[in-house]
């Protein structure tokens, strides 16, 4: 059997809270396997445990009980952390907090420099990484002058330059305009398909889930639903109970079906809808 890249076994996690008010259990007995090259999307209401789960993948947090293995390495063993962080990079929500250097190029070089990689090799990796996110022509620009979507692509390049096996993105598009969101989504799909990088993508935008191989839905610290986007979005009622939703087009298709229009229920995109309603050509 193929070995998963990431394996959670009965993972629970409790945040210690200030002022002796006891802890808060943010993960409850989570079991999960993510395989190499997979694109996994994670949905869940505010406070359901998504960010806590994500932080366990690169050992920013370690389980209170249970075990997380990344490429066979136990995240609870301190000697493993360095190696795990090279295999798993994280991108966060706010593009302004992640870039530190005065040029795009220096920012992307930061990670490999920390690994003690020789300068010629760093140059090569920086070029490759910026190329991979479509930002090579901006290599000498100051990061703070870029648009939100461009900043996030530079943050992603900073991780790609470490040659990771997996990127975990925690709501990377939440602050972006529609064009920025599209840029980032296209970039991570390309990295997944062409570079084979495993992606764990957390989002509140239902339409960003459509291209994923698998969707996990979290609620109260547990994974409560799992499947392909089509399978998950066919459960409109359950999703709404979990404070989530289906894409607008899926909602429309379900409404049309209930009005007697012959249309399959699993429609996810405008294109699919047009093809079903105007099948002539």
Q: Which residues bind ligand ATP (CB under 6 A)?
A: 15, 17, 24, 26, 44, 46-52
Q: Residue 82 binds what, of ligand ATP, Mg ion, other proteins, none (CB under 5 to 8 Å, by partner type)?
A: none
Classify strands 214-219 and 222-227 as parallel, antiparallel or unpaired. Answer: antiparallel
Q: How far is the CB of 95 from ligand ATP (least distance, A)?
A: 16
Closest CB 18 distance from ligand ATP, rounded Å = 8
From the list ligand ATP, Mg ion, other proteins, none, partner contacted by residue 243 (C-beta under 5 to 8 A by kind):
other proteins
Q: Can you point out the beta strands (E) in the chain?
A: 6-16, 23-34, 39-44, 65-70, 73-74, 88-91, 166-170, 198-202, 214-219, 222-227
SS3 176: coil
Residues in contact with 231: Cβ distance below 8 Å, sequence separation at least 6, in sequence order: 215
Given the complex with ligand ATP, which of 124 and 243 has the nearer CB atom? 243
Closest approach, Cβ 45 to ligand ATP, in A, equals 7
Chain centroid to Cα 174, Å, comes to 12
Q: How many residues does the chain have?
A: 281
**Torsion angle defined by CA atoms of residues 209, 210, 212 and 213, in that order, rounded to the nearest 10 degrees:** 130
Q: Closest separation between CB of residue 139 and other proteins, Å?
A: 20
**Cβ nearer to ligand ATP, comparing 46 with 262:** 46
CB of 93 to ligand ATP, least distance (A): 8
How far, in Å, CA of 47 to CA of 24, rounded?
11
Which of ligand ATP, Mg ion, other proteins, none does residue 60 bind to, with CB < 5 to 8 Å depending on kind?
A: none
Nearer Cβ to ligand ATP (69/216): 216
Q: Please give the span between the terminal C-alpha atoms of the chain, in angstroms, as a whole number.
A: 44
Q: How far is the CB of 115 from other proteins (least distance, A)?
A: 30
- Count of positions on this chain that bind Mg ion (CB under 5 A): 1
267 touches 249 (CB < 8 A): yes
Residue 49 or residue 111: which is nearer to Mg ion going by CB? 49
Q: How far apart are CA 69 and CA 57, in angstroms?
A: 8
Residue that is written with structure tokens 């509140």 in the block: 204
In whole angstroms, what is the distance from residue 192 CA to residue 199 CA? 7
For the segment 8-67, give every residue that binds Mg ion (CB under 5 A).
51
Task: Give the binding site for other proteins (CB under 8 A).
Answer: 15, 17-19, 21, 24, 44-47, 51, 93-94, 147-149, 171, 174-181, 204, 206-207, 240, 243-245, 247-249, 251-252, 255-256, 259, 261, 270, 273-274, 277-278, 280-281
Q: Among residues 59 and 263, whose Cβ is nearest to ligand ATP?
A: 59
Q: Nearest distance from residue 50's CB to Mg ion, in Å?
A: 5
What is the Cα–Cα distance from 28 to 25, expressed in whole angstroms?
7
**Residue 160 vs 200, nearer CB to ligand ATP:** 200
What residues line the site for Mg ion (CB under 5 A)? 51
């Amino acid at each position: 059997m193929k070995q998963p890249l990431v394996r959670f076994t009965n993972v629970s996690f409790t945040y210690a809270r200030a002022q002796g008010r006891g802890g808060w259990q943010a993960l409850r007995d989570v079991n999960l396997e993510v395989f190499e090259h997979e694109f996994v999307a994670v949905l869940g209401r505010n406070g359901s445990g998504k960010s806590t789960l994500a932080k366990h993948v690169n050992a920013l947090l370690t389980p209170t009980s249970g075990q997380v293995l990344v490429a066979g390495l136990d995240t609870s063993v301190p000697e493993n952390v360095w190696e795990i962080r090279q295999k798993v990079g994280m991108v966060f929500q706010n593009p302004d907090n992640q870039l530190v250097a005065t040029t795009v190029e220096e920012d992307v070089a930061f990670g490999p420099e920390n690994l003690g990689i020789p300068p010629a090799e760093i140059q090569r990796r920086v070029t490759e990484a910026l190329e991979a996110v479509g930002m090579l022509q901006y290599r000498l620009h100051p990061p703070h002058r870029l648009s939100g979507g461009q900043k996030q692509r530079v943050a992603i390049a900073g991780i790609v330059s470490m040659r990771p096996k997996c990127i975990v993105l925690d709501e990377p598009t939440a602050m972006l305009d529609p064009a920025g969101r599209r840029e980032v989504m296209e970039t991570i799909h390309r990295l997944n398909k062409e570079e084979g990088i495993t992606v764990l993508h957390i989002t509140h935008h239902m339409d960003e889930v459509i291209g994923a191989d698998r969707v996990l839905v979290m609620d109260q610290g547990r994974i409560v639903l799992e499947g392909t986007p089509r399978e998950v979005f066919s459960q409109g009622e359950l999703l709404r109970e979990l404070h989530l939703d289906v894409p607008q087009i899926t909602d429309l298709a379900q409404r049309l079906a209930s009005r007697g229009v012959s249309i399959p229920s699993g429609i996810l995109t405008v294109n699919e809808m047009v093809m079903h309603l105007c099948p002539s050509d």
